[in-house]
Structure 1
Amino acid sequence: MADAKGSGMNRSLVCLCAAELVMMVNTTAFNVALPDITESLGAGMAEQQWIVSSYNLVFAAVVLLAGFLGDRLGHLRTMLVGLGMFVVASAVGLMAGNVPALLVSRSIMGAGAGVVIPMGQALLGILFRGSGLSRAMTAWAIAGTLGVPFGPLVGGVLTATLGWRGIFGFDGVVFLAVIAVIRMNVPRTRASHGSRSLRIPWMSVAMMFAGFTLFSAGLVNAQHGLLSADAWIPMMVGIVLIVGFVLHDRTSRNPLMELGLMGDPSFAACAPALMMLNFSMYGIIFIMPAYLETVLHHGALVGGMLLMPLVVASIVGSWMVDGIASRIGSRGTSLLALGCLAAGMLTIGAAMWWPGEAVRQSTVLIGQTMAGFGLGVGQPAMLTWAMGRVPVGQSGAGSSLLTVFRQFGSIIGVGIFGSVQSGLYETGFCDLAQSAGLGQRSAGSVTLDFQQAAGFTDATGDLMREVASRSYESAMIGSFSAAAAVIIVTLGVVVMISRKTSR
């Protein structure tokens, strides 16, 4: 009987991790296709940011609602609905012929991810407890860690062989298979709050979604100047709405989120720490494909392969996390992960200073390795640290609350990286073009500028490509330095919040 139960639990764990793996592959595989999508649909940097941010925005809007419904209707049932959204979104993306259609597809996928991730974590928190929870969260983290940086490689293969639409076809088939195996192998869990109201707090949902949308819009517009009215006004209004949502939900009889969990110092410290994982991950994968594929003249396949140091280091970090945590605890391991992320960011940015191409690429590799190790070690340590403090009856709410912080990290990661990179790139392009006697202006992104340069057959085209490459590399210094500063500040905040907690 015990063997049969253990075998069933292992099958459940494998199936849940498979869902996490394919979903994270989907999330990051798409970024490798951005240069091809830019060329195919003529999307500028702002449109690229919205294509990526639409996923994260809807994710953030849905995730708390998913926890609310999962705790009442059943976590497995809710998770299967989320996986079904990916199948629908894949069909829409496969037929997309313009940027708005692509935005719809990515938004539906964001909704699906906003359901799948918290429900998967909640199911793990219910099915496994004690030391079993730590092992389950490590397996879950390894699956996600594999999917995040491995996605660019899969995306590169699909884009190089089938075009960017091949990613959506692949998604449709894979998610149908995942739905089938999860239905067969993962046991249903009872709704924890069957006696509580099923009335959805739409006011809270609307305020949170509007707040995140306006804040993200301000970040996107900040590429033209942080002090411009169309940047700071949406950001300020967004912040006001987010604060209003928190205050409204806190006093509501039917709250969307369980803010009481933030009273635990360990849980509260993990929230900003997890936010920095997504901030780093999405920032790197948003900036690096254009550098590897456009500036260095590699195709999507090679560009994806050049992100493999991130993959390997993440896997190594996930395998080592138990040994590290046994020595310095979950808190120490989480702080170590944040330090590695900051060091990795600084190293990638500093690599752009080197004049020699071989030394530059070696330094980028070292930076990717540091950041990847931080990602691999951080996720299981932080999730175990936080979810171990959550009562079983609040598993969905606790997981959703942590996931909101992670998605906010994704939003500000794309927003800060994209806006800083775009602003510095356009300024650098203008200055270098003027000093080189080039009359052309930037089209708004390095990919579009290379496409524009292809229209010149003389030395002008070569000069445009050189100016664009140097401008993009120079902008990367500022982008990654700003990211490192954000992570270091957050590291200090986590240290302060958790200073009185145990290991």
Structure 2
Amino acid sequence: MHVEEGRKRSLNRSLICLCAAELVMMVNTTAFNVALPNIAESLGAGMAEQQWIVSSYNLVFAAVVLLAGFIGDRLGHLRTMIAGLGMFVVASAIGLMAGNVPVLLVSRSIMGAGAGVVIPMGQALLGILFRGPELSRAMTAWAIAGTLGVPFGPLVGGAITAALGWRGIFGFDGVVFLAVIAVIRMNVPRTGGSRKSRPLHVPWASVAMMTSGFTLFSAGLVNAQHGVLAASAWIPMAVGAVLIAGFVLHDRAARNPLMELGLMADPSFAACAPALMMLNFSMYGIIFIMPAYLETVLRHGALIGGMLLMPLVVASIVGSRMNDWIVSRLGSRGTSLLALGCLAAGMLTIGVAMWWPGDVAEQSTTMIGQVAAGFGLGVGQPAMLTWAMGRVPIERSGAGSSLLTVFRQFGSIIGVGIFGSIQSGLYTADFRDLAQAAGLNPQSAGSVTLDFQQAAGLADATGDLMRQTASRAYESAMTGSFAAASAVILVTLMVVALISRRASR
């Protein structure tokens, strides 16, 4: 009896520590987004540079995550996880000293590599430490931590940016991640991975093809803001897609594969992959577009801008807490489809909100959209993760977790890429048309934040007219961005329903 109680206490401590790491990780991931307007003013970063600041993190994350699972299954998941946390400490020191966008990109890239190691290793450790009903409870707690961290990040980032400026986020990260390393080393048992049983022969050809493919595809998405048919957009995307396809074919035939594609033969696992991709697509898309709207268009500070994303946070918490109840009635498949439906409805509602002429109606409808999307995020992630990881053998936990995380991070990349490019392209076109009609210079400075900054140097009447023009153009572009996102999610919902029609509940 005492042995069993001791085991439960040990597992609970491990769960708390791993969830704390996930929470801090996800807070870090999105806290930076709310500082983008501040960075744009400080470093003169346009929309394309802001996209790269966010995408560099997600891109390196996706490139590293499969390699992390490969190494973790061989050298030990805990050891690999602590190395990933250490990367955040190093990156924080670099970010504190960044005086230009390239150095900032280096810092964010190292952080992306750290996240690409920590998150799959945390999921793998849960899959090893917990099985059966305990796994569902552990994954729900993990998902709640992650779901809280993503939308809660802008509130933390807003408070730090308002008090200390954007560099304060890096200082916060350095201190917090040092504390997380110490706590995890003391409380989480070493398990999984063996240098003797599974030799470490890294398939560098697969790593190179995957990294190059993701980089080129992401570059094409960023350049698509100048037109999808532009050579700088479609050529990198096409070459990137070919390299990604080549990586998949090469890895499937390899004796030492980087990616466990055999897991995709299970319909439940295969259905969860694109569903989880859409969760990140939605989260990162919303949090990339909304700060400029809340802080620049509505003229709130970083702190208030972060607080205005609280409906997303609260709805995510409610959704996570209701997960078990909903799964018990709809099953994992039904809950996942419900979550995607809520995301699509939330996106469309935010887009429609920009049509309303009155500020009260616009902001109230935006809040309703945040609630719908947040509920979908909260109820969907634990259901999808439990559904998928419950089908993965213990010895392949790292590979299974990494494969799911690759899909999630690809969702982050295309979320920022698609939202950013559509938003930037529509904004530039709308600003040109509205500025010409108002007798202003039709050339945008590159983003709504920079246009507001430019307006500050003009005469009062002209400056006010330019700010009004930029605000109307940004809101109009948001309608197109969120409507397109809703359509992408609905198509994915149908694909998930088709793949999983023969899967168990």
Instruction: Report the alpha carbon displacement of residue 192 of structure 1 after superposing the two structures with TM.
Output: 5.6
- Aligned residue in 2 for 1:141: 143
User: Secondary structure at the residue paired with 2:476?
Assistant: helix
Does the CA-based 8 Å contact 1:193-1:393 persist in structure 2? no
- Aligned residue in 2 for 1:110: 112
Specify every segment of 5 or more residues in structure 1 that has no aligned partner in the other structure, as ranges: none
- Aligned residue in 1 for 2:102: 100
Once the two structures are overlaid, the 10-residue window that deviates more, 446-455 or 184-193, is 184-193
Is 1:218 matched up with 2:231? Answer: no
- Aligned residue in 2 for 1:458: 460
- Aligned residue in 2 for 1:444: 446
The CA distance in 2 between the partners of 1:472 and 1:225, in whole Å, is 18
Does the CA-based 8 Å contact 1:137-1:380 persist in structure 2? yes
User: Secondary structure at the residue paired with 2:99?
Assistant: coil
CA deviations on 1:338-390 (whole Å, 9 max, x unpaired) are 00000000000000010011011000000000000000001000000000000
Distance 1:253 1:193, change over 3 A: farther
Does the CA-based 8 Å contact 1:249-1:257 persist in structure 2? yes
Instruction: Report the alpha carbon displacement of residue 250 of structure 1 after superposing the two structures with TM.
Output: 0.4
The CA distance in 1 between the partners of 2:198 and 2:464, in whole Å, is 66
- Aligned residue in 2 for 1:480: 482
Which of 67, 72, 84 is equivalent to 2:74?
Answer: 72
- Aligned residue in 2 for 1:383: 385
- Aligned residue in 1 for 2:158: 156
User: Secondary structure at the residue paired with 1:141?
Assistant: helix
- Aligned residue in 1 for 2:355: 353
Specify every segment of 5 or more residues in structure 2 that has no aligned partner in the other structure, as ranges: none
The CA distance in 1 between the partners of 2:424 and 2:208, in whole Å, is 30
CA deviations on 1:120-142 (whole Å, 9 max, x unpaired) are 00000000000000000000000
The CA distance in 1 between the partners of 2:470 and 2:416, in whole Å, is 21
The CA distance in 1 between the partners of 2:19 and 2:194, in whole Å, is 23
Instruction: Report the alpha carbon displacement of residue 193 of structure 1 after superposing the two structures with TM.
Output: 7.4
- Aligned residue in 1 for 2:130: 128
The CA distance in 1 between the partners of 2:454 and 2:400, in whole Å, is 49
Instruction: Report the alpha carbon displacement of residue 502 of structure 1 after superposing the two structures with TM.
Output: 1.4
CA deviations on 1:215-270 (whole Å, 9 max, x unpaired) are 00000000000001110000000000000000000000110011100000000000
The CA distance in 2 between the partners of 1:465 and 1:265, in whole Å, is 51
- Aligned residue in 1 for 2:412: 410
The CA distance in 2 between the partners of 1:41 and 1:444, in whole Å, is 13
- Aligned residue in 2 for 1:200: 202
Moved segments of 4+, more than 3 Å: none
2:421 partner amino acid: S
Does the CA-based 8 Å contact 1:223-1:423 persist in structure 2? yes
Does the CA-based 8 Å contact 2:126-2:138 persist in structure 1? yes
Which of 468, 471, 493 is equivalent to 1:491?
Answer: 493
- Aligned residue in 1 for 2:324: 322
The CA distance in 2 between the partners of 1:190 and 1:224, in whole Å, is 48
CA deviations on 1:149-187 (whole Å, 9 max, x unpaired) are 000000000000001000000000000000000000000
- Aligned residue in 2 for 1:7: 9
User: Secondary structure at the residue paired with 1:254?
Assistant: coil
Matches within 5 A, 1:45-444: 45-191=47-193, 194-444=196-446
- Aligned residue in 2 for 1:39: 41
1:495 partner amino acid: A
The size of the alignment, in residue pairs, is 503
Identical-pair percentage? 83
User: Secondary structure at the residue paired with 1:33?
Assistant: helix
Does the CA-based 8 Å contact 2:433-2:442 persist in structure 1? no
Instruction: Report the alpha carbon displacement of residue 457 of structure 1 after superposing the two structures with TM.
Output: 2.2
TM-score by length of 2: 0.99
Does the CA-based 8 Å contact 2:29-2:150 persist in structure 1? yes
Does the CA-based 8 Å contact 1:86-1:175 persist in structure 2? yes
- Aligned residue in 2 for 1:502: 504
User: Secondary structure at the residue paired with 1:406?
Assistant: helix
Does the CA-based 8 Å contact 1:197-1:254 persist in structure 2? no
1:212 partner amino acid: F
Instruction: Report the alpha carbon displacement of residue 78 of structure 1 after superposing the two structures with TM.
Output: 0.3
- Aligned residue in 2 for 1:24: 26
The CA distance in 2 between the partners of 1:100 and 1:439, in whole Å, is 30
CA deviations on 1:386-442 (whole Å, 9 max, x unpaired) are 000000000000000000000000000000000000000000000000111112520
TM-score by length of 1: 0.99
Instruction: Report the alpha carbon displacement of residue 63 of structure 1 after superposing the two structures with TM.
Output: 0.2
Does the CA-based 8 Å contact 2:152-2:313 persist in structure 1? yes
Once the two structures are overlaid, the 10-residue window that deviates more, 248-257 or 433-442, is 433-442
The CA distance in 2 between the partners of 1:351 and 1:194, in whole Å, is 59
Does the CA-based 8 Å contact 1:314-1:375 persist in structure 2? yes
The CA distance in 1 between the partners of 2:458 and 2:290, in whole Å, is 26
Instruction: Report the alpha carbon displacement of residue 199 of structure 1 after superposing the two structures with TM.
Output: 1.0
User: Secondary structure at the residue paired with 2:191?
Assistant: coil
The CA distance in 2 between the partners of 1:458 and 1:386, in whole Å, is 58
Does the CA-based 8 Å contact 1:44-1:448 persist in structure 2? yes
Does the CA-based 8 Å contact 2:73-2:398 persist in structure 1? yes
Does the CA-based 8 Å contact 2:335-2:383 persist in structure 1? yes
The CA distance in 1 between the partners of 2:192 and 2:117, in whole Å, is 17
